[in-house]
A and B are shown apart, each in its own frame.
Chain A
Amino acid sequence: MIINMNTILECNQITKRYSSLTALTSVNLSLGRGKVIGLLGPNGSGKTTLIKIINGLLVPNEGTLLVNGQKPGPETKKIVSYLPDKSYLPDWMKVKDAINMYQDFYENFNKNKAYEMLKRLDLDPNRKLKSLSKGTKEKVQLILVMSRDADLYCLDEPIGGVDPAARDYILNTIITNYNENSTVLISTHLIADIENVLDEVIFIKEGHITLHNSVDEIRSQEGKSIDTLFREVFKC
């Protein structure tokens, strides 16, 4: 197989079953570098399953998935920065402990960048995670994830539980921190909030990829927003 240097992620006929439930069916996907891509689908459509496979937390029953030409494993974990959909940091930690932990774990973690972003948030690194509100905790986790100099960022529902002002902060953090060599994959169902920062969108419906196109292309072809199109495609 010829590996395109511009491809960061390649999925080939990925199928994932959980006993009787098929979460992903023959997913083919190829993602380029230097883009912000939305993985959009309703609850239970397979978004988190796909992201977990990319991160090597789940193994597909069929098909292959390559990150930068390699199967998920220690090498790909170095270049993929993952924000899970749940909180994962121990509550007893202070913000600065979490930063130190990331520093220990990841060669490509940029401590200065993390502290700079904290400063902009006006957040004291000596605060305990337990004392932070849900939204602030989510911001801290995003700061940790975006402070890595990664090739692929996988953000699972990064704007789920936060207020609109925090949403703007998070989106700004995302678009100011990725570079032309890295790609950001954002899974969400809150489309209206993020569609202006996306280069491409992927629609996922009941484990099938139904659409993968550039946002500008869709808007000029359909004459409507991604949000409107999504509501039509996924109408209950």
Chain B
Amino acid sequence: MEWELSSDRPIYIQLIEQLQAAIIAGNLSPGDKIPSVRDLASEAQVNPNTMQKALAELERNGLLYTERTSGRYITSDKELIMKLKKQSAKSQIQEFIEKMKLMGFQPEETLALIEETIKDK
């Protein structure tokens, strides 16, 4: 997995975001086993404590779960992943709508423009 970390925000938050994005995009598939904390930390060139913190947070929100003896897995709950996918899409759309408002477009006009653009394609 490719990691891109900027240094002006807490690393564990960026790790959470990037793992979530990989799960949403399907780069990490439901039910897959993920590498160990040490391997992931080494790959991302971060401290294992920080990686552990990120994974613990993803476990808390249900995206990951631990099998006591065999390691960590990505949830098989496809609904949960879909929910997250929608959430992520919605926040992108909201951001876009805000930008269009700044340019002077009302949401209905933005919608019309989107439809027009899709048709042109």
Assuming the A-B contacts A168-B45, A171-B45, are A196 and B5 also in contact, with contact meaning beta carbons closer than 8 angstroms in the complex? yes
Identify 12 residue pairs between A and B in the complex whose beta-carbon atoms are under 8 Å apart, listed by A's number: A34-B49, A36-B47, A36-B49, A175-B45, A175-B46, A195-B7, A196-B7, A196-B47, A198-B47, A215-B10, A215-B11, A225-B7
Find the A residue at minimum CB distance from B7.
A225
The verdict on A219 contacting chain B, using a C-beta distance below 8 Å, is yes
Find the B residue at minimum CB distance from A192.
B7
The CB with the most chain A CB atoms within 10 A, among B38, B45, B49, is that of B49
Assuming the A-B contacts A168-B45, A199-B49, are A219 and B9 also in contact, with contact meaning beta carbons closer than 8 angstroms in the complex? yes
The verdict on A172 contacting chain B, using a C-beta distance below 8 Å, is yes
Find the B residue at minimum CB distance from A35.
B49
Q: How large is the interface on A (under 10, 10 to 19, 20 to 34, 35 or more residues)?
A: 20 to 34
Chain A interface SS verdict (over half): helix
Add 15 more A-B contacts to A176-B42, A223-B9, A224-B8 (CB < 8 A): A35-B49, A36-B49, A172-B45, A176-B38, A195-B7, A196-B46, A215-B10, A216-B12, A219-B7, A219-B10, A219-B11, A220-B9, A220-B10, A223-B8, A228-B8
Nearest-Cβ distance from residue B35 to partner chain A, whole angstroms: 13
Assuming the A-B contacts A36-B47, A197-B46, A198-B47, are A175 and B11 also in contact, with contact meaning beta carbons closer than 8 angstroms in the complex? no
The verdict on A62 contacting chain B, using a C-beta distance below 8 Å, is no
**Would you call A199 and B10 a contact (CB within 8 A)?**
no
**Would you call B8 and A197 a contact (CB within 8 A)?**
no
The verdict on B110 contacting chain A, using a C-beta distance below 8 Å, is no
Find the B residue at minimum CB distance from A195.
B7
The verdict on A97 contacting chain B, using a C-beta distance below 8 Å, is no
List which A196-236 residues lie within 8 A (CB) of chain B.
196-199, 215-216, 219-220, 223-228
**Would you call A216 and B10 a contact (CB within 8 A)?**
yes
Nearest-Cβ distance from residue B88 to partner chain A, whole angstroms: 22
Nearest-Cβ distance from residue A233 to partner chain B, whole angstroms: 16
**Would you call A219 and B8 a contact (CB within 8 A)?**
yes
Nearest-Cβ distance from residue A194 to partner chain B, whole angstroms: 10
**Would you call B45 and A216 a contact (CB within 8 A)?**
no
A175 / chain B contacts, CB cutoff of 8 Å: 41-42, 45-48
Find the B residue at minimum CB distance from A196.
B46
A224 / chain B contacts, CB cutoff of 8 Å: 8
B41 / chain A contacts, CB cutoff of 8 Å: 175-176
Of B5, B7, B38, B42, the residue contacting A226 (CB under 8 A) is B7
The 9 tightest CB contacts between A and B, nearest first, are A225-B7, A216-B10, A219-B10, A197-B47, A225-B8, A224-B8, A220-B10, A36-B47, A196-B46
Docked pose: A65 CA to B90 CA in angstroms: 55
